[in-house]
Amino acid sequence: MGMLRFNYRSQALGRYVDISVVYPTDELSYFDPLTSDKQEYGRNTAHGKALYRPGMKFQTVYLLHGGGDDDSLTYRYTNAERYAQRNRVMLVTPNIANSFGIDTAYGVAYQTFLSQELPTVIRALFASSEKREDNFIMGYAMGGNVALGTALMHPELYAACVDISGGIGMTMSTETMVQELDSDHFRNKFRLYCTSFGPSETFPGSPFDLAAQARKHPARGDSACRFFIACGSEEFIRSRVEEDVRLLRQAGYQVDYELAQGYDHDFRMWDTYIQKALDEFLPLKRQVIYPDEFQEQVR
C-alpha cells in the first residue's frame, strides 16, 4: 500500500494542514507480465495486477477521524490501509482537529475546507476520480457525524456516506441541538461545542441545522446520498444516533442501520466498521479507472 502525508497551506483554514493519502499500490505493476520477461522482485510474477498508466484514477473515500484524534491516528489504530488495499480504493484523511466539521462561530471554515477546497486540491494533485459515483465519505465518532452532515449539505459530492458512532455534533433533531447548546453541561464542561456552533437562538435554520438541510435538497430535486449508519449497543450516544436514523428515514432518505451488539465507543468498533464499510457497504468498483483510450486497448 502506498501512503503519504501531504501538508499544504489551506486558504479556507488560514493555516497549513496535514492530509493522509493512501493508494492501493500493492496490486499495481509498471510492466505487463503478458508481454514482458521482467519479474517482480522476490515473487514469480505480476500476473493479475493492474498497470500503472498516465491519467489513471481511483475511487476515493474521504475517511474522517474522531474528536481528539488526527489524520495519522486513524491508520495507527485501525487496519484501514489494508482494507483499502484489497478493495482497490484511495483513502483521504484530512486533519480537521476538534472542529465538528463546520464553519465555526469563532471563524475557522472547516466545512468550506472539507466540501469545497479539499476535493478541488485532491483531484488536482492526486489520482482521484472527479465523478460523484466514485466518491464517498465516511467517519467514526466526531468524524462520523461530520460525514453525515457533509453528505446532507453537499449531496452532489458523494454517492454514499458511512457514519460510524457519530452521535455528537450535527444532528437531525433541531430541538436536541438547541437543548444541548443551552445546557449547563455543554456550557461549563464542553465549551468548545458552544463556541463552535454559536448561540442556540441562531441555530434553527442555520447551515448546520441538518433537519433544514435534509428538507432543502430534495425540494430542489438534488440527488440524495445513500446512508449507512452504525452504532455499538453499549455506546453512550446510541439514542442520539438512532434518533438521527429515524428522522432521516422520516425525511425520505435511504438509510441502512446496524446496531453492533457488545460494541462500545472505541477503536474496536471503528476498525470493525471501517472494514465492513469498504468490504460490504459502499458500492465500490474495486478496480483502477483508466482513461478511455487505454480502456479500449485492454478490452
Q: How deeply is 4 buried, as exposed, middle or buried, from its count of CB atoms within 10 A (0-12, 13-18, 19+)? A: exposed
> Mean pLDDT throughout 251-272?
97
C-alpha cell at position 52: 500503472
**Where residue 297 falls among pLDDT bands split at 50, 70, 90?**
very low
18-61 residue pLDDT tens? 999 999 999 888 877 677 666 666 555 556 788 999 999 999 99
Output DSSP code: residue 115. I
**Where residue 120 falls among pLDDT bands split at 50, 70, 90?**
very high
> Mean pLDDT throughout 189-205?
93
Q: Could you tell me the CATH number of the domain that includes residue 185?
A: 3.40.50.1820
**Predicted local distance difference test score (pLDDT) of residue 293:** 53
Where is mean pLDDT largest: 9-13, 52-56, 210-214? Answer: 9-13
Report the distance separating Cα 176 and Cα 242, nearest Å. 13
49-107 residue pLDDT tens? 889 999 999 999 999 999 999 999 999 999 999 999 999 999 999 999 999 999 999 99
**Predicted local distance difference test score (pLDDT) of residue 296:** 47
> 203-224 burial, b for 16+ CB within 10 Å, e for fewer?
beebebbbbbbbeebeeeeeee
C-alpha cell at position 291: 482513461
Quote the number of domains for the chain: 1
**Predicted local distance difference test score (pLDDT) of residue 106:** 95
Of all residues in the chain, the percent with pLDDT exceeding 90 is 81
Task: Determine the structural domain holding residue 100 and report its residue range.
Answer: 2-298
> Mean pLDDT throughout 153-175?
95
In this structure, the number of other CB atoms found within 10 A of the CB of residue 263 comes to 20
> What is the value of pTM for the model shown?
0.93
